[in-house]
Amino acid sequence: MESIAIDNQPLTWHVACRVDDIPQNGGACALIDGRQIAIFNFTRRGQWFATDNECPHRRQMALGRGMIGSHAEEPKVACPFHKRTFSLKTGQCLNDEGCSPIQTYPVRVSAGIVYVGV
Amino acid sequence: MSVHTNTRIVVIGNGMVGYKFCEKFVAKEKKGQSFSLTVFGEEARAAYDRVHLSSYLSCKTADDLTLAPADWYAQQGIQLYLGDPVVEIDRTSREVRSHQGRIVAYDYLVLATGSGAFVPPVAGVEKDGVFVYRTLEDLDLIQSYAHTVRQEGSGTFRGAVLGGGLLGLEAAKALLDLGVDEAHVVEFAPRLMPRQIDDAGSQVLQRQLESLGLSVHLNKNTQSITGDAVITGLQFADGSHLNVNLLVISAGIRPRDELARAAGLDTHPRGGILVNEQLQTSDPAIFAVGECAVVHQMVYGLVAPGYEMAEVVATQLLGATSQFKPFDMSTKLKLIGTDVGSFGDPFASEPECRTIVYENKAKGIYKRINISADGKQLLGGILVGDASQYNMLLQTCKNQTVLPPDPEDIILGSRGGEETGLGGVLSLPDEALICSCEAITKGQLCHEIANNGHTSVDALKKATKACTGCGGCTAMVKDLVGAVLNQQGVYVRNTLCEHFEYTRQELLDLVKMNHQKTYAAVLDAFGRGDGCEVCKPAVASILASLWNENILRQDRATIQDSNDRFLANIQRGGTYSVVPRIPGGEITPEKLIVIGQVAQKYGLYTKITGGQRIDLFGAHVGDLPSIWEELIRAGFESGHAYGKSLRTVKSCVGTTWCRFGVQDSVSFAIELENRYKGIRAPHKLKSAVSGCTRECAEAQSKDFGIIATEKGWNVYVCGNGGIKPQHAQLLASDVDKTTCIRLLDRFLMFYIKTADPLTRTATWLNKLEGGLNYLKAVVVDDVLGIANQLENEMQLLVDTYACEWKEVVETPELRQRFTHFVNAPAVKDPTVQFAPMRDQIRAREWA
Ligand code: SRM
Ligand SMILES: Cc1cc2nc3c(=O)[nH]c(=O)nc-3n(C[C@H](O)[C@H](O)[C@H](O)COP(=O)(O)OP(=O)(O)OC[C@H]3O[C@@H](n4cnc5c(N)ncnc54)[C@H](O)[C@@H]3O)c2cc1C
Ligand code: SF4
Ligand code: FES
């Protein structure tokens, strides 16, 4: 199950950054087509994820600086501001029912380059 | 006593103790024993809770107060005759005769006739509007009379109570509840509650009662009750007069011994049926229990000893032996709107004992404790205005618990977290009687809580009957539930999170033994899953506390809490704050100028913090390394405002300038700040050094605080401002600097190694078994023999200190992480916006 929810819409793959730009088991933010996208290199699981950089809670541009981890099997990121946690797969907020979800994006890595589908 | 075939027992009196006798008897009775139980009650109602009689006027119905309904007696096979007093005992034929003419034969007779209100021989007591306060019927009469008076509406409605003892004050409060316009208390003695509290306590109590709207008249000898058929006032021997429409007489109790006296049983000249320790009267077939009995030369006017008497007689009649031991007469006044308690020997005084008194006139609090001359035991005491410690003190007194070295802590409250200088409820012995009415021990309650899952007061009431008597133990039972659950919580170890089945302390030991230096190594060895925002920073802190390597190297950057990850506090809008270290708050003009220049250059808002240094807000993440580069060049270092580590060691100016200073507090503060800077701990650490007792640096609100004395330094630990302020406590006094530092090394390292994550020193101490005494034993007396090790571990941290910002500034691969966009390092976050404020900027309001 990948995070491509919008099968029918055409995806554009953008070059985001080099693999080394994103710390292992951590994240950073890339500017893609005017949009702030957080990219996570979940080395421990051998997976890459991408989400909005903006946290819906107080609309702070900070998820790329958030700490990643897991809740049971679900990979997640915690916002640095008030520790809302979001599923990296679905974007759903895991610890605050009232909080809106975040958008997730597919990631592809090839030859040391990270691509994000928007 | 061997097996009885149909032994006939007759109980005279169906009051609180008469009922309790029936309850205990049927509960103990075994199959095959055959008894017949007959009960005569004078009142028309089955036994009810007289202790809570007053609540009948405010909230309870007669049914609420009933101890057991009439059909309970039937179910138990007890023959109950209500509204039918016994009028004669024939000891030769062993029969009783009732008012209605019933004649019942007995093998054993139990007298539980209680007592009646004592009405002094004052002229006019027979007038309308004069009442006593003992039965539900009395209250019905008072209520309907008050109603009539109010209906007639003849001016101010004045009620008075004759007698300023325990019951009198309760009755006076009841008058207020009834809605009298004025309530007066008239007392013959020079103080209120003369039998329970001393003069000073009584004065405090009086002021409190007056503020509730009661008028108190002391030293008043009532000569007569004035009025024709109806009361109009009280005439006193000193010539004064008080107009009243209603009078409640509460001048003491008089045991109901008339039946016993007529039957030729021995009675006391001042009233009461004489019994021995088996509670037998001068006729061995006849027992007396409750308020009608005189045992150990006294009438016990309280329900708890009465219940114990019921137990003693029930036990004996069922064939075992039992004795009634002298009983504690401590009392806590209920319902009166202010707390009053007296326990043990409240009046014991010097020279046999030491008396400690605390009085706060403004708050209406008076506390007195009497302590044995050797300082070891609590003999008794008085509490007025704040009786929250009553139960603990009573238990300490009854169980002869050895007192702490500073017994005044018991009433002043220790200056640390615990409520009293005594341990919590759990420190009581298992045999301690918590509910004296029902004789329920601490051990029984703990068993019910821990093993049978009765974790609410209601459940415990059902399971044990605790709290169902006078209710005085309810608060303590609640405490006990909390403490037992808490204790279980400690046994159910405080493990980190779903990824680590270890407590922080366990994990720290494991990581140390296995020399792990990365998160991945620790997770692989001891954890599962991928970690989370709880265990990652906890492990990060452990690694830092153990090895003190740069927190951003190896895989450690991404396990740091977000502030640590960027070595700055993230603030509104996603900018960061910059706080250079200014040890002891001392700074040269040159350095001040650099701070100003840097702030100007990078457009930062500046503010003097509450920690004696300067905070620069509004820095873009990409600017942080350059800002620090400039600060470091001017000689600044990281202030660790972002870390769970030492913040500031505040100082006052001390002998450097201050005319009162006795030591050089600034130099010492700087020395301490430089020693402990950068050390990672379970939570942040704050400190201060004051140059004299005036304490301008507020050292007693810090995790460790030092106050100069003529002879050296006093060391305080485990204080805290913040969410729940707590004063620091004295660890050592008059020590020299070297000793002070050694003690601090041990203290801090012991805390670092044993505290749960994100636990400040104050909270840690509050949870530490044994509290401050234990901490002192470990840190000062080295009872665990680890002092050397702790000192060495601390020295390692001190020796390995390096400014982490300097390392980042000088290390390209660390420095390059400080960008907002990885793919456009020079671009600042365009969403960051500021608004003007005074002459500076502020973060834009967020969503
Ligand atoms: C700047 C300052 C307020 C000020 O403008 O004066 C401040 C600012 C913050 N305080 Fe504070 N506290 C500041 C002095 C205090 C003090 C007073 C003191 O230290 O003398 C206290 C009470 C004393 C104490 O801690 O015992 C204080 C009690 C807290 C607490 C509650 C701690 C507690 O245990 O209850 C927090 C929350 C926490 O640490 O979890 C907190 C947390 C914070 C944080 C770190 C919150 C955050 O993560 O953003 C703020 C960071 C500001 C920043 O970005 O730099 N701050 N804070 C003060 C910085 C002092 C310094 O130079 O380092
Ligand atoms: C307002 C008030 C508040 C109190 N507050 C407290 C308190 O906070 N704490 C505390 O420990 N104690 C308190 N007490 C005291 C407590 O109520 C008594 O200690 C307790 O009721 C004594 O029980 P008893 O069975 O010995 O007497 P009682 O409860 O008085 O029962 C005796 C019964 O025997 C009946 N009787 C008498 N003679 C005969 C006869 N010949 N034939 C048949 N029946 C007869 C009486 O009518 C009565 O019903 C309070 C009392 C009052 C009035
Ligand atoms: S008191 Fe609250 S708002 Fe003020 S600085 Fe401290 S944490 Fe921030
Ligand atoms: S802004 Fe992300 S949790 Fe509040």
In this complex, the residue of B574, B819, B823 whose CB is nearest that of residue A62 is: B574
Tell whether the model's pLDDT for residue B762 goes beyond 70: yes
Query: Atom of ligand 4 at shortest distance to CA of A58?
Result: 1
What was the pLDDT predicted at B419? 42
Annotated binding residue B658: yes
Residues, chain A, total?
Answer: 118
Instruction: Determine whether the interchain pair B574/A70 forms a contact, defined as Cβ–Cβ distance below 8 Å.
Output: no
Instruction: Please give the sequence-ordered ranges of beta strands (E in DSSP) within B126-285, or none if there are none.
Output: 130-132, 158-162, 182-186, 214-217, 222-226, 233-236, 241-243, 246-249, 253-255, 273-274
Q: Is the CB of B557 inside 8 Å of chain A's CB atoms?
A: yes
What was the pLDDT predicted at B487? 72
Across chain B, mean pLDDT equals 89
To probe the interface with A, which of B562, B814, B829 has the most A CB atoms within 10 Å?
B562
Residues, chain B, total?
Answer: 847
Residues B192 and B163 sit within 8 Å (Cβ to Cβ): no
Instruction: Determine whether the interchain pair B574/A61 forms a contact, defined as Cβ–Cβ distance below 8 Å.
Output: yes
* Identity at B276, one-letter amino acid code: N
Look at B272-276, B579-583, B757-761 and tell me which has the smallest mean pLDDT: B757-761
Q: What is the mean pLDDT of residues B461-481?
A: 80
Annotated binding residue B718: no
| List of domains in chain B | 7-115+255-317 (3.50.50.60), 130-251 (3.50.50.60), 504-560 (no CATH), 807-846 (no CATH)
Q: Distances from the Cα of B450 to the Cαs of B391, B430, B445, B534, in angstroms?
A: 21, 14, 8, 30
Strands B286-288 and B108-111, bridge-based pairing: parallel
Q: Does any ligand 4 atom lie closer than 6 A to the CB of residue A61?
A: no
Distance from CA of A7 to the nearest CA of B (A): 27
* pLDDT band for position B33 (cuts 50, 70, 90): confident
What was the pLDDT predicted at B343? 87
Annotated binding residue B696: yes
DSSP three-state, residue B648: strand
* Tens digits of residue pLDDT in B664-696: 999 999 999 999 999 999 999 999 999 999 999
- CA closest to A46 among chain B residues: B530
* Tens digits of residue pLDDT in A46-94: 999 999 999 998 889 999 999 999 998 999 999 998 889 999 999 999 9
* Tens digits of residue pLDDT in B652-661: 999 989 999 9
Residues B700 and B716 sit within 8 Å (Cβ to Cβ): yes
Q: Distances from the Cα of B61 to the Cαs of A34, B13, B49, B64, B140, in angstroms?
A: 74, 22, 11, 5, 11
CA atoms within 13 A on the CB side of B56: 23
What's the DSSP call for residue A56?
Answer: T
Look at B163-177, B240-254, B392-406, B579-593 and tell me which has the smallest mean pLDDT: B392-406
Tell whether the model's pLDDT for residue B491 goes beyond 50: no
Query: What tokens does A20 get?
Result: 């080394």
Tell whether the model's pLDDT for residue A2 goes beyond 50: no
What was the pLDDT predicted at A5? 39
Q: What is the mean pLDDT of residues B133-159?
A: 88
Q: Is the CB of A82 inside 8 Å of chain B's CB atoms?
A: no
| Cα torsion angle, B463, B464, B466, B468, sign | positive
Q: What is the mean pLDDT of residues A109-113?
A: 91
pLDDT, greater one: A96 or B621 = B621
In this complex, the residue of B530, B817, B820 whose CB is nearest that of residue A75 is: B530
Sequence-ordered list of residues with C-beta below 8 angstroms from that of B159, at least 6 positions apart, any chain: B146, B172, B175, B178, B180, B182, B183, B184, B244, B245, B246, B247, B248
Contact list in B for residue A67 (CB cut-off 8 A) is 532-533, 536-537, 558-559, 561-562, 565
Separation CA B387–CA B201 (nearest Å): 12
In this complex, the residue of A26, A31, A70 whose CB is nearest that of residue B558 is: A26
Contact list in B for residue A65 (CB cut-off 8 A) is 562, 565-566, 570
Tell whether the model's pLDDT for residue B492 goes beyond 70: no
Starting from the CA of residue B723, give the closest ligand.
1
| List of domains in chain A | 2-117 (2.102.10.10)
Query: What tokens does B774 get?
Result: 């234990």
Distance from CA of A65 to the nearest CA of B (A): 7
* Identity at A56, one-letter amino acid code: P
Separation CA B476–CA B332 (nearest Å): 13
Q: How far is CA B43 from the centre of its chain?
A: 40
What was the pLDDT predicted at B328? 73
